[in-house]
């Protein structure tokens, strides 16, 4: 049994899902593998996420110390960059496995269409 922020998780698998579960977190992290990205750059590569949701997910990832948020300007227009922390980088093998499966999946399931 594991405890995170006063909540219980029954096994190691559920611990991982606590950090990268949900609809968007793995996708965001996937796009940060190549290096730092700005808020609007993330929006462009994930066109179906809304501003609000992206904002909330980034905040949570930052709280979990998986990504780092750096502000480069004092006054508008703002310039903010997001990068993986060292802890976040320990997720690389997981993200890689998730990505590879997603690439191969359309060949293995009729439900998935690539277009």
Partner DNA sequence: CAGCATCCGCTATGATACTG
Partner DNA sequence: CAGTATCATAGCGGATGCTG
Among 26-34, 35-43, 50-58, 70-78, the segment contacting a copy of itself (CB under 8 A): 26-34
Q: Which does 95 bind (CB under 5 to 8 A by kind): a copy of itself, DNA, none?
A: a copy of itself
The residues facing 8 across adjacent strands are 3
Q: Does 112 bind a copy of itself (CB under 8 A)?
A: yes
Of the pair 64, 81, the CB lying nearest a copy of itself is at 64
Of the pair 73, 113, the CB lying nearest a copy of itself is at 113
Q: Does 10 bind DNA (CB under 7 A)?
A: no
Quick one: which of 86, 49, 43 has its CA closest to 68?
86
Q: Does 56 bind a copy of itself (CB under 8 A)?
A: no
How far is 82 from 74, CA to CA, in rounded Å?
17
CA distances (Å), origin 70, targets 15, 82, 85:
27, 6, 12
Over its C-alpha atoms, the chain yields an Rg (Å, rounded) of 16
Residue from 9, 22, 94, 99 binding DNA (CB under 7 A):
22
Cβ(36)–Cβ(45) below 8 Å: no
Instruction: List residues near a copy of itself by CB under 8 A.
Output: 1-5, 8-17, 19, 21-24, 26-27, 30, 45-49, 64-65, 87, 90-91, 93-106, 108-109, 111-115
């Amino acid at each position: 049994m594991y405890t995170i922020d006063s909540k219980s998780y029954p096994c190691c698998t559920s611990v991982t899902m606590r950090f990268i579960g949900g609809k968007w977190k793995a996708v965001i992290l996937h796009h940060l593998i190549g290096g730092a990205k700005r808020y609007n750059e993330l929006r462009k590569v994930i066109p179906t996420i809304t501003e609000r949701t992206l904002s909330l997910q980034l905040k949570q990832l930052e709280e979990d110390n998986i990504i780092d948020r750096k502000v480069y300007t004092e006054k508008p227009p703002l310039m903010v960059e997001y990068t993986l922390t060292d802890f976040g980088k320990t997720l690389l093998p997981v993200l890689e496995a998730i990505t590879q499966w997603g690439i191969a999946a359309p060949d293995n399931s009729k439900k998935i269409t690539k277009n």
